[in-house]
Amino acid sequence: MDDLTKRLLQRLIRRMPAQMLKTTLEKWDRLTAAQQQSLDFTQPKWALIETLLTIFEENEFTVKHITELEMLHVINNPNQGMWHAFHLMDPDDTAITVELTQFKEQFKSHLRELVRHVSIKIKKHTDEAVWIRIAWGDGFSKPNHLKPTYVVHHLQTPYVFVTSLTSKQKPLLSQALTLSTRHQGIKDANLSGRKLTAIRDLLMKQYQQVFTTRYPSPLEETNQPVSNPRIEREQAGLLANRLQMACEAFGYGVLPQLQSAVYKLETKYKDDTNKTMTEREEPFRCVVKFASSNLLESIRQCASSGIASTPVTPLLSSIPIKGRNYFVIKDNGLGPS
């Protein structure tokens, strides 16, 4: 086994907890039963690495096999790294007819026309998602398997999710995607997060959606006994009203686990007592970021408990409605980002 293969294997094993490594190797199904049983996942990681290196050398595994194992790990554990969503635009009339075999052939062909040295692996997952692993090279260097880009695309949809993509690689990937899916362009969906499942569910509406109404719904009746008719009825009414408005903004079910939302302010400074700032031609700029392990659920809880005011401001309710967590706010409201 060459040095690159060893480095890839060592890095991959270090990233995985012992139980996850055991499960991944079993799903990979390239080790014999005897080799699988010889592995002691309770021993220190360095000792386990040495054992696996010996087994992989005996089996004459190459970079191809290690990247296959890595891809299996990433597919089964997608909520790692920072994922960014993109939206394919202006589909051709034949875009909906593109099948997996066509897509694979055309994507590889187009990308290899743009990049001389590139390694591409494509695998269809059980949820119909097409996973792509790209190791980039250039005209002089071989593909760098230590820094791959991962792409997830659901065929017959305009949505693409990407992680570990540099600004130099972005136009190359964009061109290959638009040509192979028969679209005219691709744009940033202004949605990102560390949980691929969360941004996918939010963008593709794979959760209990919010259906806003023009008029507020009547409060639901409760059968709880009221010991103090005046005080407790008023408190219960306020609580139910806050809960209702919070749920009308974010729904009643389980919400996608976004970790952040960013608002970029670009507006004229307005303060009659500060002419230096108000007379500036350049807009006043600042960035506000909300962060939580489950941002949407946190906002819903804050609104329903009275910590945040209700009805919920459109700046926050726009996150699930528009499927975005990056906004630019200008003097005339939410502007294009």
Q: How far is Cα 86 from Cα 5, in angstroms, rounded to an integer?
A: 32
In this predicted structure, what is the pLDDT of residue 239? 63
Q: Which pLDDT score, from 0 to 100, does residue 325 have? A: 94
Give the residues of the chain that fall short of pLDDT 50: 211-224, 226
Crossing angle of helices 3-15/45-58, nearest 10°?
140
Residue 314: CA count within 13 A, CB half-sphere: 5
**How high is the pLDDT of residue 72?**
96
Nearest CA to 129 out of 150, 145, 108, 106 is that of 150
pLDDT at 335: 57
- The whole-model pTM stands at 0.82
Rounded Cα distance between 234 and 211, Å, is 28
